[in-house]
Amino acid sequence: MNEGKLVFAQVMQHLPLTTFRRCVARYRGEHKIKSFSCLDQFLSMAFAQLTYRESLRDIEACLRAQRSKLYHLGIRSMVARNTLANANAMRDWRMYADFGQSLIGIARRLYIEEPFGVDLKESVYALDTTTIDLCLSVFPWAPFRSTKAAVKLHTLLDLRGNIPTFIHISDGKMHEVNVLDQLSPEPGAFYIMDRGFIDFERLHRFHQVGSFFVTRGKSNLKVQRRYSHPVDRSTGLICDQTVMLTGFYSHKGFETPLRRIRFKDPQTGKSLIFLTNNFLLPALTITELYKCRWQVELFFKWIKQHLRIKAFFGTSENAVKSQIWIAVSVYVLVAIVKKRLNISASLYEMLQILSHTMFERIPLDQLLIQSVQPAISYDSSNQMNLFD
């Protein structure tokens, strides 16, 4: 079925184009546009992500060098630097945000049975924020400090498959705890977050709908112990307690009991305090859940290294958000391809292979499977030496 198709076209055929057109129509993305459609824009930016292009001029030069193959890539118009820059600056970034969310929905269904390190049937999410530094004189709409600008990427990561389920892009001044107001808690799910997200009034909203949270306790946390549960100290657990918050504002925001677990890491010797509203899971499982939060840190590190979200092709807020959402869409799309084709290679290996084979015509599954197979070692013990 894919014989003769370019590798790039084979990857892009996993896009739900009907959904894409609906997203474009929702925001009137192609109003008064005669050429260079929103799909052309998306495919050009996706090509830039997959081939590690560094600038608009870089994108233009590469695609013009292959102008005879643009139609086979799915791009119906000639790609010009100014045209792409104007499209990024003017076309509503929310089209690509909505389309990215639809791809996330597809990926989550594919990875719903994926293990993540803790044996739980419930959904488990890791919430965190990363900062992308910018130049204040070039990006004045994203203030951070007096001499620098930044955007913050607030991300809720589904640990089954490391799929980002919620992303909010803000300027650098927005505190990460405010993103809790924009989340819709899922009953029965676990939300793992660090101390920066502690706001007991906001966390109580999660508790009320039946969600569970696991976080670290701050050093100035004031609690009163109500009951101590037995623990196995050989595992590193020091105590497992039922406590009540005694601080004026913390108790006012969260009046129900909490669970306080103290754990000493046997590797580092560091003592850690965890807070949760779940009283059913074993204390050691709670500590293992928090350890899984590190996956969201690895996700941020991965996308900053392998996607183009640190150097932007435009300076407007719309251009930056469009580029970030298209980058996220490409990440999720590669994850979808990996699952649908049952590829054992990591996402990093897949991106490296795809970056050098966009214009090849080899079937995609054959390309990815053969490229990650171990090299065959031949037994040369019986091989005669020509120069003896």
CATH number, position 247? 3.30.1370
Instruction: Determine the pLDDT at residue 382.
Output: 53
Kindly give the parts of the chain with pLDDT less than 50. Answer: 1, 375-378, 380, 384-388
Under a CB-based contact definition with an 8 Å cutoff, are residues 319 and 88 in contact? yes
Residue 262 lies in a domain: yes
Pairing state between β 212-216 and 271-276? antiparallel
d(CA 284, CA 323): 41
What are residue 130's DSSP bridge partners?
153
Alpha carbon of 307 to those of 16, 85, 299, 329, 349: distances in Å?
A: 22, 19, 11, 11, 13
Instruction: Determine the pLDDT at residue 1.
Output: 47
Instruction: Determine the pLDDT at residue 25.
Output: 95
Residue 45 lies in a domain: no
Residue 85 lies in a domain: no
pLDDT digits 0-9 by tens, 195-238: 999 999 999 999 999 999 999 988 888 999 999 999 998 889 99
Instruction: Determine the pLDDT at residue 372.
Output: 62
Backbone angles phi, psi at 157, to 5 degrees: -105, 125
Residue 199 lies in a domain: yes
Instruction: Determine the pLDDT at residue 220.
Output: 86
Indicate the number of domains in the chain: 1
Residue that the structure tokens 């670290």 belong to: 216
| Tokens of residue 117, six digits | 């390190």
Residue 254 lies in a domain: yes
Under a CB-based contact definition with an 8 Å cutoff, are residues 312 and 334 in contact? no
| Tokens of residue 46, six digits | 């996706």
Domain that holds residue 270: 195-283
Q: What angle do CA 267, 268, 269 make, to 5 degrees?
A: 100
Rounded to two decimals, what is the model's pTM?
A: 0.89
Instruction: Determine the pLDDT at residue 376.
Output: 45
Instruction: Determine the pLDDT at residue 373.
Output: 59
Burial class, 383, CB count within 10 angstroms (exposed 0-12 / middle 13-18 / buried 19+): exposed
d(CA 172, CA 151): 5
Residue 207 lies in a domain: yes
Residue 351 lies in a domain: no
